[in-house]
Amino acid sequence: MSRTAHNDRIVEQFTRWARPFSELPVHAEAEGMARTLAAAGIGPDMKVLDVACGPGIVACAAAQRAAHVTGIDLTPAMIAQARERQESLRLSNLDWRVSDAMKLPFAEGAFDVVLTRYSFHHMPDPLPVLREMKRVCRRGGRVVVIDATPTPETQAAYDRMETLRDPSHASALTLDQLRAVGREAGLKEGLVDGYRLTAQLSTVADGKDMQALLQMFEADIDSGEDRIGVGACRDGYDIRFCFPISIVAWSVADVI
């Protein structure tokens, strides 16, 4: 699929999901947010960039610790949600842009911290995105990626499940693959952390592939094998499962 077609698919999917995504409590879950902000190491005089910021959940949380936060996202409906969140929280130190993570509209070294959450699995080629994040981060600054990282054994099934749940899914990296992308981008690894994000299937999926998705989860539950690697179980009429989230924080070397 061409890059344009993939981007069109992203915008279509996240225009539909902008409001539900913004309102789902799981996306503002406290432990994950605390670990994310700790990894980012944001201080009161820092400028932060949130790449693929969606409805601005992380950006607005970061803005309560930073001097200024900029959020960029490909989907205008997500940026509209982000502006609403900013207004409802009465925050004045943010700005937003509709833009592609592949080509960030900022100068070299413009930010102290550059982060992205739950976006890398939408990127057909994450390396150039990480290179862009590094480019706009100052020397000595921090670049942070937070995303689902299946194990090597579950990666193929996890990707199948995610593609059924969300057709704009590209591929989730394993933690080792994500760390390798960091090395290839020339970043210095500082911290690796993670958390499991519990979700109800009915709140994070819809659409034409729901039957196939349910079958996949039910096969795991009935066999007792965790082939998708998300610890699925029945919860009344619903299915509960956990996204395996990793956080990797790198620093940009003082001398490049």
Ligand X SMILES: C[S@@+](CC[C@H](N)C(=O)[O-])C[C@H]1O[C@@H](n2cnc3c(N)ncnc32)[C@H](O)[C@@H]1O
Q: How many angstroms separate the CA atoms of 103 and 97, rounded?
A: 12
Smallest separation (angstroms) from ligand X to the CB of 180: 21
DSSP codes joined into one string, 146-200: EEE---TTTHHHHHHHHHHH-TT---PPPHHHHHHHHHHTT-EEEEEEEEEEEEE
73 near ligand X, judged by CB under 6 A: yes
Closest CA to 226 of 147, 149, 158: 158
Residue nearest to ligand X (CB): 54
79 near ligand X, judged by CB under 6 A: no
Binding span for ligand X by CB under 6 A among 117-125, 173-181, 202-210, 245-253: 117-125
47 near ligand X, judged by CB under 6 A: no
Contacts of 57 (CB under 8 A, 6+ apart): 22, 27, 28, 33, 85
Smallest separation (angstroms) from ligand X to the CB of 253: 25
161 near ligand X, judged by CB under 6 A: no
Smallest separation (angstroms) from ligand X to the CB of 18: 8
118 near ligand X, judged by CB under 6 A: yes
101 near ligand X, judged by CB under 6 A: yes
Q: 107 in the Ramachandran plot: left (φ > 0), alpha (ψ -120 to 50) or beta?
A: beta
Map residues 5-34 to x or -, x wherever contact with ligand X holds by CB under 6 A: -----x---x------------x-------
Q: Can you say how many angstroms the Cα of residue 2 is from the centroid of all Cα atoms in its chain?
A: 22
Binding span for ligand X by CB under 6 A among 37-45, 62-70, 114-122, 214-222: 114-122
Comparison of 6 and 227: residue with beta carbon closer to ligand X: 6
Q: Is 97 in contact with 72 (CB distance < 8 Å)?
A: yes
Comparison of 54 and 141: residue with beta carbon closer to ligand X: 54
Contacts of 6 (CB under 8 A, 6+ apart): 124, 168, 170
Q: Is 122 helix (H, G, I), strand (E, B) or coil?
A: helix
The footprint of ligand X on this chain (CB under 6 A) covers a number of residues equal to: 19
Helices 126-135, 175-184: axis angle to 10 degrees equals 50
Binding span for ligand X by CB under 6 A among 37-45, 50-58, 228-236, 245-253: 50-58
52 near ligand X, judged by CB under 6 A: yes
**Out of 122, 134, 165, 169, the residue judged to bind ligand X by CB under 6 A:** 122
Residues forming the site for ligand X (CB under 6 A):
10, 14, 27, 52-54, 57-58, 73-75, 78, 100-102, 117-119, 122
